[in-house]
Structure 1
């Protein structure tokens, strides 16, 4: 964008024009034009990535379209949560839904989506981080049981996937429902599964190094760890 200047003849601007400049007038479309350009590029980028986001969500929230069997630990953990809810006579389905969301999608998957460098040997640029934050926020909204009310003042990352979130929510509900219908996992089967996983990955971790890190941590906070909390007075 070029603006005439009396001294040099021209003045170069980036996409955003300085509104404090003397030639700024009421009703200038500069900022509006920049917003329109940004929105157009935002929607175009979303359209390009839509298939990949859909594939990710469908893979995570599906017992069939995973490429591999559902890990036994997920079924075992979800059954445990349902048993605890029954034990405490919690009949609100939203509570059970929230428990499961906090244990797996919001605890594990959001962290992986937001920080791919935890899994892959890659560099995450600031632009990539911003894009992944939008996907992670959409993921979290899809696991929520509350209704999302959006308005003109809502942030763009909320508005971007507003029409997709209801569909994603049905995937989450179907995922939890399908897991609930699967055959229960016995304690013996779970123990055998953990032993097999330990055998398969026995050479991938350094046990002595892990114990060393635990020792340094416990040694640093040994007073706090060994201290017993005082019992409240009767």
Structure 2
């Protein structure tokens, strides 16, 4: 409700009038009116934002349209996932696609899309949050390999981009294929890249806090990690399983 006029006693409402609990019939009639207004405005808003959503998806799912070179870490990580799939005899392309989606778009980009205040110094209103949730859901559906069956009972936010998602899916598939065709990144180049990034951002992160988070993960899954290290040839040479056990014992000891 907008500010009421105290002299005339008139109350001004913005599109939606709060329904009185005692007047159920008026509430039902008002809800139908509101749903029709909502759907019309929803479609109009989608048309206004369509170009911006397209530009966002095209930029994120492109190796050449981003203004800068693809980060080495993405190529290195995707090649590692393909290597692990080959090593374990996983030839289902949907599985490889899902691994890559879970590593980058669904873990990183969805979080940024849903929470722009992480990147920009802005206030995210409830209306903005609702709109970004629709974009984020569309983004997640575009990374999925399963078919989305929609019907008359499907939420309007799902139906809104139903015709666009197959197009977006083709962008995701093309993006992964383009990365697989890029020249492989050697371990030396990757180590040099990580060393340079560490130097550039050395004052921005708390190393001890990061190590503590890693230790929390390692201690939680210590049996699985130790067993894996004991069966890995490179880890055996460096006695990593023994070293991990020593670290866990030292951190767990009371001082």
TM-score by length of structure 1 reads: 0.81
Give the structure 2 partner of residue 164 of structure 1.
164
What's the counterpart of residue 116 of structure 1?
116
Q: CA deviation at 1:50?
A: 0.8
Match of 2:25 in 1: 24
In the TM superposition, what whole-angstrom CA distance separates every residue of 1:22-63 from its partner, at most 9, and x where no partner exists? 6938xx754332211111111111111111111110000001
Determine if the alignment matches structure 1 residue 34 to structure 2 residue 38.
no
Aligned mates of 2:147, 2:221 — CA distance in 1: 44
Change (3 A) 1:47 1:81: same
Describe the superposition over 1:104-145 as per-residue Cα deviations: whole angstroms up to 9, x where unpaired: 000100011111111122211111111111111000000000
Aligned to 1:133: 133
Aligned counterparts of 1:197 and 1:50: Cα–Cα separation in 2: 35
Task: Give the distance between the partners of 2:220 and 2:168, measured in 1 at CA.
Answer: 46
Q: How does 1:153-232 map to 2 (within 5 A)?
A: 153-202=153-202, 204-206=203-205, 209-211=206-208, 213=209, 225=219
How far has the Cα of 1:20 moved from its partner?
Answer: 6.2
Structure 1 position 46 matched with structure 2 position 60: no
Change (3 A) 1:12 1:69: closer
Greater helix fraction, Structure 1 or Structure 2: 2
Consecutive unaligned residues of structure 1, counting only runs of 5 or more, are 1-9
Tell me which moved more, 192-201 or 62-71.
192-201
**Partners of 2:18 and 2:221 in 1: CA distance:** 60
> Which of structures 1 and 2 has the larger relative contact order (alpha carbons within 8 angstroms, sep 6+)?
1
Whole-angstrom CA distance in 1 between matches of 2:201 and 2:67? 20
Gap change, CA 1:80 and 1:33, over 3 Å in 2: same
Q: For residues 223 and 32 of structure 2, what CA distance do their matches in structure 1 show? A: 59
For the residue of structure 2 that corresponds to 1:152, the secondary structure is coil
* Distance across 2 between alignment mates of 1:51 and 1:133: 17
Q: Give the Å deviation of 1:210.
A: 4.1
The answer for the alignment partner of 2:253 in structure 1 is none
User: How many Å separate the matches in 1 of 2:74 and 2:214?
Assistant: 30
